[in-house]
Structure 1
Amino acid sequence: MLSITEPTPFAACPQPFNLAAYVLAGSGAPDDKIALAVLALSGAERWSYGKLRAAALGTGTGLLAAGLKPGDRVMLRLGNTVDFPLAFLGAIAAGLVPVPTSSQLTAPEAGKLAQIVQPAAILQAPDVAAPTGDWRSIPLTDLRAMRDCAPVAPAMGDADRLAYIIFTSGTSGTPRAVCHAHRVVWARRMMWQGWYDLTANDRLLHAGAFNWSFTLGTGMMDPWACGATALIPADGTDPKALPLLLKRHDATLLAAAPGVYRKFLKDHPSLSLPKLRHGLCAGEKLPEALRTAWFEATGTGLYEAYGQTEISTFISGSPARPSAAGTLGAPQDGRLVAIVDDNGQPVPRGTAGTIAIDHRDPGLMLGYLDAPEATAEKRRGPWFLTGDQGIMVEDGFITYQGRDDDLMNAGGFRVSPLEVEAALAHFEGLHEIAVTDVEIRPDVRVIAAFYTAETELDQSALTAYAEAQLARYKQPRVWVRLAELPRNPNGKLRRKDLKLS
């Protein structure tokens, strides 16, 4: 039996279509139902569906009145506040193309991304680093004033047209700009039962920031499209407060990377969360020991999903179909998935190969911005290649066998080692540097930098230099001086040989 699914075709996305209009409709939720609560220990900022819709569509009108034209790209340099989803959805409603970026990026890092997408404007919060370069900026005060404008009529059109651009790291060291179509949000409906068990009665708390693709979909677009309530911790919330916020605000679902669940259990060996139905996990592989520990502490399950920035999560466990031990889960209903060999042919079940998904999947990206060759490299016949290895067992579940590239996974963020190395290479006294992620204790990985130099370099100075050049999640946590870096006979770095002694 071959490693390929035989799904029932998923319903086609309606035409014409607008991602923002679909999300803001809330599946018919009443205008006075709470769509979003931004949580702090002192209280919550609540937004009803009616208020959220009016503010987002008003923002769309304001952006057009500011001289932006449909098709223009706008970069979001905003924090984890309601400003982010209002700007994101308002821009899409108006026919603009928003480009979310992490608020953790330094000015030079954000500047590199701006050079790639060439935005017509930067939507800029005062406490977020502005990208280097000469770009038009729309300050947060102006953006907030736009909420009171008359609502824009959503720009309807082909569901296959560009809706937004979001960045991922690539093996070249240059972040890739991933172009997503309006239809991507419709494809996410396959997750509602295939992963979440999401209903309009749920209150879903996502522990990540809006600008992460995991949060953008799972924490924002999906709950609203379903008519549920999204709960987001306010900027600066201490992670230790999340269990209290979960209980205080009656969260029924929790979504986070495995590291967040690990932190919960470290700080709270026993958790009382009477309204929580289960947890959702993505961003990095979920260890079975963590799944078991979470169940013992809370009495609820953890359901894992696998996807990438380029393709919405498409392999998952769910309450209706829990993952078999040691597996990622199974392809969701409607997903045509295979494990393929180097020629793009499905391999027999039980055989390792590359995890691949049909290139016609509605959740798949349009391609990388202005990079047709890089886009083509991800295709093999009818398949999009994830670059990750897996095995499909007889019952259709898929085990994860690791990456076939050098991308690192730091707390759920995929980071290119070449990007980190390029940022640190000019530190005075440093000869060569190579970075990789290492396991410092069971199931905990951090970025480690291995370098050569005449003498041991000051670690505090190295750390300070990294802080000035890189977002926190890209910064090495371990520094190791070597006599020489491991290389093969052709002089190529053997990154997999970099290990802590």
Structure 2
Amino acid sequence: MLAVFDRGAPAPCPVPFNMAAYVLGCADALPEKTALAVLSPAGPDIWSYARLKAAVLGTGAGLLARGFRPGDILLMRLGNTVEFPLAYLGAIAVGIVPVPTSSMLTAPEVAKMVAQLSPAGILRDAGVACPDDTGLPVIGTDELLAMRDLPPADYAMGDPERLAYIIFTSGTSGNPRAVCHAHRAVWARRMMHDGWCGLRSDDRLLHAGAFNWTYTLGTGLMDPWSVGATALIPAEGVAIEALPELLKANDATIFAAAPGVYRKLLNHHPKLDLPNLRHGLSAGEKLSETIRAQWNAATGGKLIFEAYGMSECSTFISASPTALATQGTLGRPQVGRRVAIVDDDGPVEIGQEGTIAIARSDPGLMLGYYGAEAETAERMQGAWFLTGDHGAMAEDGQIAYLGRVDDMMNAGGYRVSPLEVEAVLHHAPGLRDVGVTDIEVKEDARIIAAFYTSDAALDEDSLRRYAEDRLARYKQPRVWVRIDAMPTNPNGKLSRRALKALYPAG
């Protein structure tokens, strides 16, 4: 039996279509309902659906009045404020192509993006790094703020296959790739509502991320708005340890965050009183079984549902309230998705390891990498898009995640997933965090190294014995390196490539 999940195609995207029009489709029927509450200790900033729609379409009108036209690319260098989603949807509403970027990028990094995309202009907060010598029109936050009150523009309806927005993702070569998405991408997110979020119109979803993160834009804002629910976003500067109080005080029913947020929150709050919360959502990186168990215990039995996705196709494998994951798996593909585990010859047999792949016909799949047709083609294999991640599928469709292809370790000829080793070592006494990678100690000789943080120096023999008792020899770290903090990329994910540089030479 081949490792292919296919339970039928989803409903086709309507034609004509506009992504922003779909996201705000409930606004006219629910004008006074709270669409967004920006939460702070001083009190929430409330946005009704009527106010939200007016600000989005006013922003779209303002961008057109500034001379931008449908199809133009606008680079977004905005901070963690409501201006970010307003400008993002405002541009899309009138057919302009926004490029949301992390505010943590440096000016030289942004300069490379400008050179790659040749945008028509930049939306810029003065406090966010950006090169000053681009020669491009710059729209500041004051001007964006004034646009909210302009008479609304009309939605630019059209082919759902046309370009809607561009996001950057890390490239295997070390250079960020510009991922182009069509307007139909948001229509594909309907499969997540049942297949991951358990999202309802009466939900109040609190996302712990910043406005200018694509995880927040999708799961935290556009998904709840598209069903007429309420989005709750902590204001900039709200500490993680304050989130439980915000969750309870604002009657949050769903909590979404990256695994690291759950971990830090639990460090401050071993017990959580969240009577209205139904469940949590996790994405961005693999959720450890330790965090899952601690959250379940702290909340009195509330579950976290994990989702797997990527910049090229958002989330398409997940657990949900109606389809629980078996331990050690991500869950199964959402109904409507066609997913397989493949090798060079196509789908492998059930239970065999291979590359996780999604059908090229999936409505959530990218159009391609901007200006990189050859690299786009490299990710395609016949009818499949190759994710670059390893996994194995069970007979019921559950998929075990075995790590990125370029993260997979090779020690003594054995291929080992760092996630498997890390999951065991996270329980070692005294360890706060751990990251594992393989190190080339001499030509053609690689060993597994464990990098860890702890409150005090740990006895290496004890760590070694702990690993020996729980891991096959070829999976055991041969060296242990204590570091001050785990290196992460701009999205907060562990950077195993950076770990290698921390290995002491000699």
Task: Report the equivalent of 1:358.
Answer: 359
Once the two structures are superposed, the pairs formed by residues 88-167 of structure 1 within 5 Å of their partners are 88-134=88-134, 135-167=136-168
Deviation at 1:440, TM superposition (A): 2.0
Computed over aligned residues only, the root mean square deviation of the Cα atoms, in angstroms, reads 2.5
Deviation at 1:235, TM superposition (A): 1.2
For 1:330, the aligned partner's letter is: R
SS in 2 for 1:92: helix
Tell me: CA distance 1:438–1:25, structure 2 relative to 1, closer, same or farther (3 Å): farther
Deviation at 1:471, TM superposition (A): 5.3
Task: Report the equivalent of 1:322.
Answer: 324
Q: 1:310 aligns with which of 301, 309, 312?
A: 312
Task: Report the equivalent of 1:183.
Answer: 184
Q: Distance in 2 between matches of 1:278 and 1:177?
A: 33
Task: Report the equivalent of 1:12.
Answer: 12
Q: Distance in 1 between matches of 2:254 and 2:22?
A: 22
For 1:319, the aligned partner's letter is: P
Deviation at 1:237, TM superposition (A): 1.4
TM superposition score normalised by structure 1: 0.83
Tell me: CA distance 1:242–1:173, structure 2 relative to 1, closer, same or farther (3 Å): same
Q: What are the ranges of 5 or more consecutive residues in structure 2 without an aligned counterpart? A: 410-447, 455-482
Task: Report the equivalent of 2:480.
Answer: none
Tell me: CA distance 1:198–1:144, structure 2 relative to 1, closer, same or farther (3 Å): same
TM superposition score normalised by structure 2: 0.82
Is the counterpart of residue 331 in structure 1 residue 333 in structure 2?
Answer: yes
SS in 1 for 2:44: strand
SS in 2 for 1:69: coil
Once the two structures are superposed, the pairs formed by residues 449-464 of structure 1 within 5 Å of their partners are none
Q: Distance in 2 between matches of 1:288 and 1:91?
A: 40
For 2:319, the aligned partner's letter is: G
Deviation at 1:129, TM superposition (A): 1.3
Contact 1:111 1:132 in 2 (8 A): no
Query: Between Structure 1 and Structure 2, how many residues are aligned?
Result: 435
Once the two structures are superposed, the pairs formed by residues 267-416 of structure 1 within 5 Å of their partners are 267-298=268-299, 299-343=301-345, 345-406=346-407
SS in 1 for 2:74: strand
Is the counterpart of residue 65 in structure 1 residue 77 in structure 2?
Answer: no
Tell me: CA distance 1:327–1:407, structure 2 relative to 1, closer, same or farther (3 Å): closer
Deviations 1:122-162 (A, max 9, x none): 11112211235323211110111011111110000000100
Q: Distance in 2 between matches of 1:438 and 1:77?
A: 37
Deviations 1:65-101 (A, max 9, x none): 0111111111111111110111000000111000000
Deviations 1:142-188 (A, max 9, x none): 11101111111000000010000000001111100000000000000
SS in 1 for 2:246: helix
Deviation at 1:250, TM superposition (A): 0.9
For 1:151, the aligned partner's letter is: P
Tell me: CA distance 1:130–1:320, structure 2 relative to 1, closer, same or farther (3 Å): same
Deviations 1:311-348 (A, max 9, x none): 021000001011001000001000000001123x1111
SS in 2 for 1:43: coil
Deviations 1:30-56 (A, max 9, x none): 100000111111111110000000010
Deviation at 1:437, TM superposition (A): 10
% same residue? 59
For 2:83, the aligned partner's letter is: D
Contact 1:278 1:300 in 2 (8 A): yes
Contact 1:28 1:227 in 2 (8 A): no
Once the two structures are superposed, the pairs formed by residues 247-266 of structure 1 within 5 Å of their partners are 247-266=248-267
Deviation at 1:15, TM superposition (A): 0.3
Tell me: CA distance 1:369–1:223, structure 2 relative to 1, closer, same or farther (3 Å): same
Q: Distance in 2 between matches of 1:201 and 1:29?
A: 14
SS in 2 for 1:280: strand
Q: Distance in 1 between matches of 2:123 and 2:397?
A: 45
Deviation at 1:255, TM superposition (A): 0.6
233-242 vs 126-135, greater mean Cα deviation: 126-135
Deviations 1:8-40 (A, max 9, x none): 221000000000011112376410000011111
Task: Report the equivalent of 1:214.
Answer: 215
SS in 2 for 1:399: strand
SS in 2 for 1:199: coil
Q: Distance in 1 between matches of 2:51 and 2:79?
A: 20
Contact 2:451 2:499 in 1 (8 A): no
SS in 2 for 1:353: strand
SS in 2 for 1:348: coil
Q: Distance in 1 between matches of 2:352 and 2:106?
A: 43
SS in 2 for 1:265: helix
Is the counterpart of residue 75 in structure 1 residue 75 in structure 2?
Answer: yes
Is the counterpart of residue 440 in structure 1 residue 452 in structure 2?
Answer: yes
SS in 2 for 1:5: strand
Q: Distance in 2 between matches of 1:54 and 1:481?
A: 54
Tell me: CA distance 1:438–1:22, structure 2 relative to 1, closer, same or farther (3 Å): farther
Q: What are the ranges of 5 or more consecutive residues in structure 1 without an aligned counterpart? A: 409-435, 443-458, 485-501
Q: Once superposed, which parts of structure 1, at least 4 consecutive aligned residues long, lie more than 4 Å away?
A: 436-439, 470-479
Tell me: CA distance 1:148–1:28, structure 2 relative to 1, closer, same or farther (3 Å): closer
Is the counterpart of residue 56 in structure 1 residue 56 in structure 2?
Answer: yes
For 2:310, the aligned partner's letter is: Q
Q: Distance in 1 between matches of 2:339 and 2:103?
A: 34
Task: Report the equivalent of 2:247.
Answer: 246
Task: Report the equivalent of 2:505.
Answer: 483
